[in-house]
Amino acid sequence: MGDVILKADRIVKHFGQTHALNGITVDIRRGEIIGLIGENGSGKSTFSSIISGVYPPTSGSMTYKGETWKPTDTNNAQKHGISMVTQEMGTLPGIRVADNIFLGREDLFTHHGLVNRKEMYAAAKEAMARVGIEDIDPAAPIAKYSLEDRKLIEVVRAIYNNPDIFIVDETTTALSQKGRDIIYSLMRKFRDENKAVIFISHDLEEIMDVCSSLIVLRDGDFIQQLDKSEFEENKIKMLMVGRELSGSYYRDDYDGSHGSEVVLKAEKVYLSSTLTNISLELHKGEILGIGGLTDCGMHELGKVLFGITKPMLGKVSFGDGKEVKSPKDAIRRKVGYVSKNRDQEALILSASIMDNIVLPSMPLLAKGGLIFRGAEKKLTSGQVSNMSIKCREIGQDVRDLSGGNKQKVVFGKWLGNNSEIFILDCPTRGIDIGVKAFMYQLMYRLKQEGKSIIMISEELPELIGMSDRILIMKDGKIMKEFERSENLSESSLIKEMV
């Protein structure tokens, strides 16, 4: 086993009423990729933020390389060799790529009080090239680049100083395979150089694959540390949720029956290079799964069905034949849409839980043109308790909630609006098993109440586990339809996807 590089001793962190950490004592060793795992809100980000200087603990102490560790801020921590790629977007929008990489460290390029920008751009270019990013211009404004590219720029910033402890917080879930591979290879490189890597991810399979040991947190408590030889999926899940998960948390019936009434349909829909001749019908009380590789067109299809994107040819309409014209129109007709990109598209992060939840229900709540605060509060409190949303108060910004609780807010807003049709694009993406199980139960209950659901998903077990019927897409076309069945295998779906 490697030497201990950092010791955390009884770390406690309170945010007002919230007890995020209750006294975490762990050793972080060199030469390892250590997974930090636990349900949403278990304290993973808080713990890594304390190590990396985002904020100090409420109490408790740390030792780093044998000395007391009290970083004053993230730049200070980074200077001493601890850096983190955050879960949230960690780049600043208004400035250039190179400035993001070297923010707070301009002194590296300052001569006689002036920043030599040419030198800075060259250094940024070289730093990016070292991790295999060739196509980003260091002088360009950061806003020009995609979420993924910005995340990678943040990674470049984090590793510039060649850290001794490199922390990656839930970054990979938002990235494509190429982005993930860049991060994985960096983590392995640091491990091989006898440094320590802390890796936080919701994806149990991913974390079991990448890590050599695991620290499990639950509700701010340290639960257990496991070695690779002890990795076993059900055991880890059990430690995370504190109870044995029965083999499956999907519905357990194989009766794929539903109403015959068509509530939403697409006819011969075409969309430039992404969708070709898509026709489908969603029935009352049906869970219709749509699966495929991420670029098969299914996410675009979701947007077309909700009226966000207009098809070039063909038509999307309700059961009565009326065309779906716009999201506003769809909402009025009781359609709810959960976007794959929750933080960018489904929520207003800087607004409160209440403002997010009541948004689509405004027409319902307005009486004679007036909206009563009391009615808004009632609707919101109803959904917060209905969905068991973990929060301090309904006026709290959505930004501070954990991923799973954010997703509950998104669901809450459509339930509060009494939606009849739900278009869910990757509804359980980036949320952990406890909340996942809750979402599956909710979907099944909605089905039984006669609501209709389109579930677009990249996860085959959830498609097979929840759908009455599955459409598999490839290159913008529907390849095949599968009925719900006990004998449906992942491999039969995969054959149609690739």
Ligand X SMILES: Nc1ncnc2c1ncn2[C@@H]1O[C@H](COP(=O)(O)OP(=O)(O)O)[C@@H](O)[C@H]1O
Residues that bind Mg ion (CB under 5 A): 44-45, 87
Query: Nearest to residue 306, comparing CAs of 286, 285, 284, 282?
Result: 282
Q: Is 83 in the site for ligand X (CB under 6 A)?
A: no
Which of these ranges, 109-117, 124-132, 329-337, 399-407, lies near ligand X under the rule CB under 6 A?
Answer: 399-407
Closer residue to ligand X, CB minimum distance, 36 or 338? 36
Determine the residue type at 441.
Answer: Q
Nearest approach, Cβ of residue 477 and ligand X (Å): 38
| Least CB distance to Mg ion at residue 210 (A) | 17
Q: Which range binds ligand X by CB under 6 A, 233-241, 375-383, 398-406, 452-460?
A: 398-406
Q: Which is nearer to ligand X, 11 or 226 (CB)?
A: 11
Per rule CB under 6 A, count of chain residues that contact ligand X: 15
Nearer to ligand X, 218 or 283 (CB): 218
Return the range that interacts with ligand X (CB under 6 A); candidates 91-99, 302-310, 356-364, 396-404.
Answer: 396-404
Tell me which of 1, 3, 15, 372 binds ligand X, using CB under 6 A.
Answer: 15
Binding mask 199-228 for ligand X (x = CB under 6 A): ------------------------------
Span from 43-51, 281-289, 346-354, 477-485 in contact with ligand X (CB under 6 A):
43-51
Q: Least distance (Å) from ligand X to the CB of residue 165?
A: 18
Task: Choose between 138 and 220: whose C-beta lies nearer to ligand X.
Answer: 220
CA 209 to chain centre: 19
Selected from 5, 28, 32, 42, the binder of ligand X by CB under 6 A is 42
Instruction: Return the structure tokens found at 144.
Output: 């020009």
Q: Does 86 bind ligand X (CB under 6 A)?
A: no
Q: What is the closest distance, in whole angstroms, from the C-beta atom of residue 84 to ligand X in the complex?
A: 12
Nearer to Mg ion, 218 or 265 (CB): 218
On whether the CB atoms of residues 451 and 421 are closer than 8 A, the answer is: yes
Phi, psi of 197 (to 5 degrees): -125, 135
- Phi and psi at 278, nearest 5°, equal -90, 120
Find the part of the chain contacting ligand X (CB under 6 A) among 15-23, 152-160, 299-307, 309-317.
15-23
Residue 400 binding target from Mg ion, ligand X, none, CB below 5 to 8 Å by type: ligand X
Residue 135 to residue 221: CA distance in whole angstroms = 43
Q: Does 20 bind ligand X (CB under 6 A)?
A: yes
In whole angstroms, give the CA distance from residue 458 to residue 462.
Answer: 9
Question: Contact between 45 and ligand X (CB under 6 A)?
Answer: yes
CB of 396 to Mg ion, least distance (A): 16
Q: How far is the CB of 169 from Mg ion (least distance, A)?
A: 6
- Minimum distance from CB of 429 to ligand X (Å)? 15
C-alpha 454/C-alpha 335 separation (Å) is 11
**Residue 220 CB, nearest approach to Mg ion (Å):** 12
Dihedral angle over CA of 52, 55, 60, 61, nearest 10: 40
CB 34 within 8 A of CB 5: no
Q: Of 40, 52, 356, 380, which lies in the binding site for ligand X, with binding defined by CB under 6 A?
A: 40
73 alpha-carbon distance from chain centroid: 26
With CB under 6 A as the contact rule, the residue among 30, 33, 46, 427 that binds ligand X is 46
Name which position in 74, 201, 352, 402 contacts ligand X (CB under 6 A).
402
Taking Cα atoms as reference points, which of 26, 455, 121, 438 lies closest to residue 280? 455
Q: CB-wise, 87 or 467, nearer to Mg ion?
A: 87
**Hey, how many other C-beta atoms are within 10 angstroms of the C-beta on 373?**
9
Q: Within 13 Å and on the Cβ side, how many CA atoms surround 425?
A: 20
Shortest gap between Cβ of 404 and Mg ion (angstroms)?
10
Q: What does the angle CA 472 – CA 478 – CA 484 come to, to the nearest 5 degrees?
A: 40
Cα distance between residue 166 and residue 244, in whole Å: 33
Per-residue binder mask for ligand X (CB under 6 A), 233-272, x = binder: ----------------------------------------
Contact (Cβ atoms closer than 8 angstroms) between residue 422 and residue 415: no
Per-residue HEC secondary structure of 285-317 comes to CCEEEEECCCCCCHHHHHHHHCCCCCCCEEEEE
Quick one: tokens of 226?
């496991």
List, in sequence order, every beta strand (DSSP E) within 162-274.
165-169, 196-200, 213-218, 221-227, 262-271
Task: Identify which range of 35-43, 239-247, 282-290, 300-308 contacts ligand X by CB under 6 A.
Answer: 35-43
74 interacts with, out of ligand X, Mg ion, none, CB within 5 to 8 A per kind = none
421-425 and 452-457: which strand pairing?
parallel
How far are the Cα atoms of 127, 165, 248, 348 from residue 191, in angstroms, in the given order? 19, 10, 35, 38
Could you tell me the smallest distance in angstroms from the CB atom of residue 286 to ligand X?
33
Interface ranges with ligand X (CB under 6 A): 15, 18, 20, 38, 40-46, 390, 400-402
